[in-house]
Each structure stands twice: as structure tokens, then as C-alpha cells.
Structure 1
Amino acid sequence: YGLGSATGAIYQDTVRIGGISSPGQVFIAASSMNNVQPANVDGLLGLGFSALSWANSKVSGSLKGKSSFIENVNSNPSVRPANFQPAFGLFLEHTKSSDPNLVTSNGGELAIGSNVGNPARYAGQLNWASVPNTNAWWIISLNGVSWSPRSGQGASTLVSGSGYTAIVDSGGLGGGGIFGRVGGVFGYGGRNTDFGSAAGTSLITVDLKTAQTLNNALGAYGTGIPGLWGVNCQQIAQSSVVIHFNINGVDYPLTGADLVVPTYATQPSVCYAPFQVLNGADTTKSFILGEVFLRKYYSVYDYNYQNGKANPRVGFALAV
């Protein structure tokens, strides 16, 4: 996913997730997959808008929009659960910045059908940022990025002004459809399956100048791969550097311990530096807030229908 590919046919059937049924769900039954990760799941559940789904681009008429699980459930009042809201909340397994031993929480959680997600997974209130339309990703305005050598010191501004946007993306949120193996997910009715719903952007994608400045401040080094840096895990965990993201006037700080991204179990001291640059995006105003950001901040993705029209928004709160 993200790097690999899948080939297959488009089908319709009832898909059930956590007791919620989606009849007439459009999905891809993959007859072959190449370099799709993680390899230990049966398929991938995309939670982006249906406009992003490849399957949605191939169907017509009443099948349009049925490749999105959330959109399809919401459009079926006969099976839609009482009080169902077209929204979902995401809690990622995360490293708590207050824990010097970097002990992780016990797994992640996807909460479907509520525009407050699971309040037990976050502290305080959700702070909302609007999403312009449903024809792209969950994209919000980014008001600024800054950093300081340590908490309490004045921050140096790297990004500010209008026109900056951020895709809120934990991977599976990017695509708008569902696919799985023939004979695995969709070969046998009623079979329990394991879906990956967060398998994409692990790091935070920024422009080249911002990535160089922030990664250098964290003691990162080049890996030989364009746009990707490495860093010593203990060094970044103990770093006093604080990175600040300003979204709709709210400050979202990330400390060194929040930025630890391990590479391989066989190399416990080697971590990815948290900021990367995509090929061809050396100068860009479109950033991606990947798992590094979303581990610390619980996120809710709300279609926010008003008078029959979607006014999508993303909410953030400190994950606990």
C-alpha cells in the first residue's frame, strides 16, 4: 500500500465492521498483490472520500459513492444504526512522551459512527479545522510551523502565511475504497477478516528547507536516499527541541520523545528522522501530517452534513 499495487475485479456485497453493516458496498477483490504492506492483513480499508477510490472512478450511476464505507452506510437509512453520524475517530498506538522508557500503549482503535470519536482516548475538547471539499484528501489549512531549542524558549518560525495546507493522513485514510484478497477477505461469506486501516504515511512530509532545518536540529544524518534522513533513537528521544504546528490558531507541540520512529528490530538504535521530502516536492506548500503527528493527537474525521451538504472537518485533541 502506497508503494505496491493490486489487480482484481470490482464487486458488491454486504461488508460488516464492528456490528455496522454496509449493504451494496463496492470493493475490489484482488487476484494479485505486489509489495502490499503490511503483509499480515487480508485487505485495506480506505477511509478517505469516495472520490479518491479507483473503484469509484470505474462505476457509474447508483454505484457512485458506494466504495466509501462511511458514505455508503450513511446513505442507507434502513440499515444505518440509530444515532449514527458519518464520522470516525482514530487512535494510533503511540509512544507517550512522558515515559522515559518509551513504553507504547496497547494497540490502536478506530471508532466509527460518532463525531466525538472515543472521548476516553483523548483529553480536553476537540479543536476543529475545516476541510474545503470532498474531492481530495482530508486537507486542512496549516497556519504555521516553528521550532525552539527547548521548551519555554522563543520559537523560530519556518512556515507562516496563507496558502499552506496539510493532508491529515495515517495511510489508510488516504484512499477512499476497500480491497482484499480473493479467497481471503471476500472468498467466503461471513468470514472474520483483518483489515489494515493505517498503512501509509509514517513520517511528516514537508518542503526541503523545512525538513533540513528540523532534522538538523534533531541531529539527523543523510541516508543516501533523497528526502529521507536517519537519527540515533536515544538522541532524538532525549532531545530538548520542540516542534510547533499551528492549526486554526491552536498550537500542537511535538517533543523529541514524540518524534521517535524506529526502523528495524535488528537495529534498535537507528530511527527515521521524522521529517521527509517527497520526490519532486522540494518546494511545496502542501504538507502531510502522518503517524508521527497522529500518534500524539487523537483525530476525528467528520463529514458534518448540514442541510444535506457535507461540510467536512477534522478535530484534534491530545491522545491519552
Structure 2
Amino acid sequence: MKWLRILGLVALSECLVIIPLTKIKTLRETLREKNLLTNFLEENTDDRSQNATDDPKISLHPLRNYLNMVYFGNITIGTPPQEFRVVFDTGSSDLWVSSVVCSSQPCSANKRFNPHLSRTFRRTRRLFTLKYHTGRIVGSLGCDTVRIGNLVILGQEFGLSEKQIQLDRVPFDGVLGLAYPSLARKRTTPVLDNLKTQGIISQPVFAFYLSNQKENGSVVMFGGVDHSYHRGELKWIPVSRTHHWQITMNRISMDGVAIGCFNGCQAILDTGTSLLVGPTTMVTTIQKLIKAIPFGREYMVPCSNITQLPTFSININGSDYPVPAEAYIWKSPKGPCIINFREHPKPLKDPETWILGDVFLRLYFSVYDWGNSRIGLAPAV
């Protein structure tokens, strides 16, 4: 399954966490002052959350690569912690997981949150709906303690899925959105904002390294950048709209010949989309250039032709970011070679907007600096 998400969320509210207007103390400092730190750490330690870097300011968390289609990692919710596999998604801003009351068939394979087992859970009696390209989720909203490794967020709002339509056979239990708060619903505080306002991380920065083919080795990092995951210097790109992680592209070319985006166009960097998604006219042009043929709802090329196919390249701020055919062709385990370009499932306000999903982000280490509204890119190691 190619997981292509088009997300809309409605009717969520907020969980109140009182933060002093004076200098914000970290959770660790507050607990230490009240002589509660030792007990808290003993109760909430997760041996798998050890940082993979020597820099104490950077918190690294492993992600699993599922067949180059989706990346997910573990978080916990509640006290005592209940563990879930979630997609760390730069294309949305809200957190949800499956609920124990979900009776839909897709939920049967998921780990499900049981609010009755958490003494820190608070229900808000609010409903929510998530609309995906491949299905729909409905449920209720709650608040609880969320842990991303050693990062502990108090009173985090999250959705409890109670009905899942069509979202079956997905290898994860929920989604953790990492886009701007304007993409979340009114009166909600996304995970990113809580990480900052509760003083949990030192810098409002996170980054992704997505491995190619290997099941293990991918990471998401919070609070800084581990530069061992990329080659050369990061090139910084201003965010053109603080909603999605959206940037301006200058040109699109195939083997050096410009084929689109002649007057500039927009692109969204989205770790929750596995593909390169573009306007119908552009995707059709690319299909013709590489002589792709229909294969069900997708397009394919003979696997023997991959080495002869042109390189797809994006120019951003005067720098080229090439995507070779080996990256934009997906060789299924027992099937043909499928092209990883897709048309937008529905028209967008800007018809030339692209979504740069995991096909692109496996090639380029990406840094998301929401303090300065910019994205850093460099070739991944």
C-alpha cells in the first residue's frame, strides 16, 4: 500500500497546561525542586530511548522503514506508559492513535489506547474527524502525558480513533503531526508547540534521516542537528507559508532540460507521503518522457530500463537537487517496477504545488527550524 495522505481535521479543542509567564523551567528542573525526579524517572524509564548522539541537547529516536513506503517510530501515552507506533508526519499537525473502543476491522491489528489504564488521562468530550485520501477516522479528544523517548510532554491533546474506515493493513497505530500550528484545529496545541513552551528542548529544531531500503537506521531528532547524517553543508531555504513546511521551487527538469515550474512553483516537504506528487499535466509529461505504461491504477516501466531513464531534478534557491531513476522507481518485491510519481487526487488552490515525499527525503537529510521558519537540506550519507 502506498500511503498518500490528504488530511483534514475538525472539531478539536484544547487541554489546559498552566505555564508560568516568567522563565520556563524544564520538567526535570521542576521535579528536582520538588524531590520527585528520582521516582518519576524510575516509573517512566524506557530503555530504548537512549540517545544515539553524545550531544545532550539533541534527542534522537529510531524510525522503522517499512518497504520504503512509510516510516514510523515508538512513543508512549499515559501513566503508566502505553506504547504506540506512529508516523512522524511533517504534513500534518495533530496527534492521534487507535482507541480501545474502536470496533472497526482496521483497528484490530493496531495497539489501542485504553484511557482507563492511565491515571493521568483526561477526556474532553470533544469529537474529531480525520479525512484521508484512502479513508476516514472519527473519535474523541483526550489529554495525557506523551513521551517521545526521553522527551516528556504534559497534558498533550491527542485524538482517540473510535472508527476507522478503509485504513486497513497499515503497519502503524497513529500519526504524530509536526507541521505548523495553523494546520491544526483551533484551540489545540500541537506537539511541537508543547515541546517549546514546556521547555523540553533547547532549540525549536527537528530533523529527519530516512534510510534507503534498510529497515533500521532511520531517525528523527529534536532540539538540534547531528551533522554526521549528511554530507557537505546544509543549504537553508525560507518557508514560503507557515502552514505546511512549504518552500518555493525555481525549476523542474529532466536530464538538464526544463520541463516545468518555469515561473516558480510551490512544494511541500512531507514525511507522511511516500511519493512525489504533482500536477496532472506535469506527471503526465514525466510518464511520457520515461515511456511508462499503465499498470492498474499505477504506471510501470521495464526493470531493465531503469539505468537508461533520465534524472528528475528540482532547483531551489539556485541549487539543484537531483532524483535519479533508481530513487523514483519502486521495484516491488514480487512485481514490476512502478514509478513513484502521482497526480494530486484533487485540485489544489495552486495548480503547480508539489508534495516532496519520502522518495525525495531519502536522498536529502532535512532540518525543520520553526524558530526561524526555514528548512535545511543536504545530501544524506
Q: Structures share a fold, TM > 0.5? A: yes
Structure 2 match to 1:232: 302
Instruction: Work out whether residues 241 and 247 of structure 2, in 8 Å CA contact, stay in contact via their aligned partners in 1.
Output: no
The one-letter code matched in structure 1 to 2:209 is F
Does 1:221 find its partner at 2:329?
no
Query: Is the aligned partner of 1:157 residue 2:280?
Result: no
Match of 1:266 in 2: 334
Q: TM-score, normalised by structure 2?
A: 0.60
> Which segments of 5 or more consecutive residues in structure 2 lack a partner in the other structure?
6-131
Q: Distance in 2 between matches of 1:233 and 1:19?
A: 44
1:21 deviates by 1.1
Partner of 1:137: 244
The reply on whether 1:302 has 2:369 as its aligned counterpart is yes
2:379 corresponds in structure 1 to: 318
* Structure 1 partner of 2:14: none
Structure 2 counterpart of 1:109: 219
Distance 1:40 1:279, change over 3 A: closer
Match for residue 243 of structure 1?
A: 312
In structure 2, the partner of 1:192 is: none
Structure 1 residue 220, shift from structure 2 partner: 1.3
Cα distance change, pair 141–277 in 1 and its aligned pair in 2 (3 A)? same
The answer to whether the aligner puts 1:255 opposite 2:377 as a matched pair is no
Q: 278, 284, 287: which one pairs with 1:212?
A: 284
Q: How many residues of Structure 1 are paired with residues of Structure 2 in the alignment?
A: 249
Per the alignment, do residues 91 and 233 of structure 1 end up closer, same or farther by CA in structure 2, a change over 3 Å counting?
Answer: farther
* Corresponding residue of 1:30: 161
Partner-residue secondary structure (3-state), 1:266: coil
Q: In structure 1, list runs of 5 or more residues that go unmatched.
A: 96-103, 149-154, 172-200, 305-310
Give the corresponding residue for 2:195.
Answer: 73
Corresponding residue for 2:140?
Answer: 9
Give the conservation status (yes or no) of the 8 Å contact 2:293–2:300.
yes
Give 1:213 deviation, angstroms. Answer: 2.6
Determine helix, strand or coil for the equivalent of 2:334.
coil
Offset of residue 207 of structure 1 = 2.2
Computing the radius of gyration over CA atoms, which structure comes out larger, 1 or 2?
Answer: 2
After superposition, the CA RMSD in angstroms is 2.3
- Per the TM alignment, residue 126 of structure 1 is displaced from its structure 2 partner at its CA by 1.0
Question: Which residue matches 2:90?
Answer: none
Q: Which residue of 2 is the match for residue 292 of structure 1?
A: 359
Paired residues of 2:328 and 2:341 also in contact (CA < 8 A): no
Contact 1:166 1:287 (C-alpha < 8 Å) held by counterparts: yes
TM-score scaled to structure 1, two decimals? 0.71
1:278 is the counterpart of 2:379 = no
Runs of 4 or more, structure 1, over 3 Å off, are: 104-107, 160-163, 279-283
Determine the C-alpha separation between the residues in 2 that align with 1:126 and 1:272: 31
What is the percent sequence identity of the aligned residues?
31
Correspondence for 2:122: none
